[in-house]
A and B are shown apart, each in its own frame.
Chain A
């Protein structure tokens, strides 16, 4: 049975987690999101959500992936220099709606999946940064 303490072994890493405000963070350089999804499947963690942040100016986006392992919340951060990241939908079907929601709300592209139908807004443009629409009134499709 995997625990928060044994998670570093899963990634063959020596650094322990950092507990902060109720989340056990594991941030390893070079960790790929699909590698992470496979590891979470292997330890039978339950996917919780992805939180997207738009960083100031043109710094891009940050995505925080969360899984639950026996009541403990695990956190993994991915900073996006552009606006795309690999989809893990084929590895973890629970991410379907949140990947679509982030795609529709932040125009982040989850590479390797389809996005239909629209979740959040009527119309035919998929992948619009709705925050920029709210500020400029102009749709910016990616």
Chain B
């Protein structure tokens, strides 16, 4: 006999409001439907009522975790419409902030995944590490969540002593290599909850148009930092971790390896950061009529902005945002099919969903 289990929109196993209707045979999920939009905010429409300074502050609030990435993507699009090219130092600072945000996001996700596995000690360890990353972000920007770092033509704040941050990156990497990665990859608790669970096949990952670590954990080797470099990524040496299995363990491994690659990128950016200005111009510029596009590899995958402006207009004519969770979330229904009901919260969490982004 089959029965329907509604999970959400408000549920202890979910971090944010969405709903998963699952059809089950015994303990096995046979079909699932997803519902989103419970907190839809209409930010794209609201953006059309904001000027070029206000719109940056607004889009920073699309997502609390990758707030820097959203303003970076928006500013890159606006820079195409104004003809402003950020100076090299600003591009390096953008790389540093982007990678710190990736570390923050991945460590936060590891903590939440550990909690859902019933591995509370690991949750505490991950959140302790996350605090250290947030301390670095605060040291640079003065803020722990919405950093207000980006502006059209560069960044708002310089990094006064980049080399002082290298030691913090080294300490973080040591802790990841010594504690977090070995425990996630060898402990029976973690493996029994992750290996072979929530599989997304390579074919389905492609047909669903998945992005970021979700795609890379299903053998799809795409990463905009390498494939379509922006900021100063074309000057960085790094690998793009890809795992073929498509299960929760593969998604965990991809993020763990990405943390190490982020540390590698951070070390390069902090030691090679060029001297000079960190923004271009005197704050006065004109937009040309047109639409510009920008894409950035956020911690969860590709973010795309299209921004339309009319010359002499105060506000953008249109801002469209495609967030990574919007691309990844529909794949959940394939991941939970055939899974045990008890595994579904962890499977959903394994894509690192962000409903703040999705309900933009």
User: Which residues in A have some Cβ–Cβ distance to B below 8 Å?
Assistant: 20-23, 44, 46-49, 51-53, 64, 66, 68, 70-73, 75, 92-94, 96-98, 117-121, 130-131, 134
Q: Is B45 an interface residue (CB 8 A)?
A: yes
Q: Is B308 a contact of A21 with CB atoms below 8 Å? A: no
Let me know if B7 is at the binding interface, CB within 8 A.
Answer: no
CA gap between A51 and B305 in the complex, in Å:
10
Query: Is B293 touching A21 in the complex (CB atoms < 8 A)?
Result: yes
User: Which of B33-41, B90-98, B112-120, B163-171 forms part of the interface with chain A?
Assistant: B33-41
A93 contacts B42, C-beta separation under 8 Å: no
A-B pairs with beta carbons under 8 Å apart, 17 shown: A22-B294, A22-B295, A49-B320, A53-B308, A64-B306, A70-B227, A71-B224, A71-B226, A71-B227, A93-B208, A94-B327, A97-B36, A97-B326, A117-B33, A120-B40, A130-B45, A134-B42
Q: A49-B322, A119-B36, A130-B45 are in contact. List 9 more A-B contacts (CB 8 A).
A: A20-B290, A22-B295, A48-B304, A64-B306, A94-B208, A98-B322, A119-B35, A120-B37, A120-B40
Given known pairs A49-B320, A131-B45, the reply for A21 and B209 (CB within 8 Å) is no
A53 vs chain B, min Cβ distance (A)? 6
Check: B207 CB closer than 8 A to any chain A CB: yes
Contacts of B290 in A (CB 8 A): 20-21
A21/B292 contact (C-beta < 8 A), A51-B320, A53-B308, A97-B326 known? yes
Q: How far apart sit A20 and B295, CA to CA, in the bound complex (Å)?
A: 14
CA distance A67 to B208 in the complex (A): 13
Kindly list chain A residues whose C-beta atoms are within 8 Å of the C-beta of B295.
22, 73
- Tell me if B280 counts as interface (CB < 8 A to partner A): no
Chain A residues with CB under 8 Å of B327's CB are 94
B172-184 Cβ-contact flags toward A at 8 Å (1 or 0)? 0000000000000
CA distance A47 to B208 in the complex (A): 9
Q: How many A-B residue pairs have CB under 8 A?
A: 82
Give B278-320 as 1s and 0s: 1 = Cβ < 8 Å from A's Cβ atoms.
0000000000001111110000001010101000000000101
The 6 closest A-B pairs by CB, nearest first: A71-B227, A94-B209, A49-B322, A21-B292, A71-B228, A51-B320
**B207 partner residues in chain A, CB cutoff 8 A:** 92-94
Task: Return chain A residues, CB-CB under 8 Å to B80.
Answer: 21-22
Give the size range of B's interface with the partner: 35 or more
Q: How far is A62 from B243 in the complex, measured between Cα atoms in Å?
A: 39
Query: Please, which residues of chain A bring their CB within 8 A of the CB of B42?
Result: 130, 134
CB distance from A118 to the nearest CB of B (A): 7
Please tell me if B342 contacts chain A, counting CB pairs below 8 Å.
no
Q: Contacts of A22 on B, CB cut-off 8 Å? A: 80, 292-295
Give Cα A96–Cα B293 distance, bound, in whole angstroms. 22
Task: Give bound CA distance, A66 to B322, whole Å.
Answer: 11
Q: Known: A51-B320, A53-B308, A73-B293. Contact between A119 and B224, CB under 8 A? A: no
- Compute how far the CA of A49 lies from the CA of B42 in the bound complex, rounded to whole angstroms: 17
What's the minimum C-beta distance from A63 to chain B, rounded to whole angstroms? 11
Q: Which residues of B contact A98 (CB under 8 A)?
A: 322, 326
Report chain B residues within 8 Å CB of A51: 306, 318, 320
Residues of A within 8 A of B222 (CB): 46, 68, 71
Whether B206 pairs with A46 at a CB distance below 8 angstroms is yes
In the complex, which residues 207-254 of chain B have their Cβ closer than 8 Å to any Cβ of chain A?
207-209, 222, 224, 226-228
**Alpha-carbon distance between A71 and B295 when the two chains are bound, in angstroms:** 10
- Cα A121 to Cα B45 with chains together (Å): 15
Contact (Cβ within 8 A) B293 A119? no
Q: What A residues does B88 contact at CB under 8 A? A: none
Task: Give the nearest-CB partner of A44 in chain B.
Answer: B206
For the complex, is B345 an interface residue (Cβ under 8 Å from A)?
A: no
- Whether B304 pairs with A66 at a CB distance below 8 angstroms is yes
Q: Is B330 an interface residue (CB 8 A)?
A: yes
Shortest Cβ distance from residue B324 to the other chain A in the assembled complex, whole angstroms: 11
> For chain B residues 55-104, which have a beta carbon within 8 Å of chain A?
77, 80-81
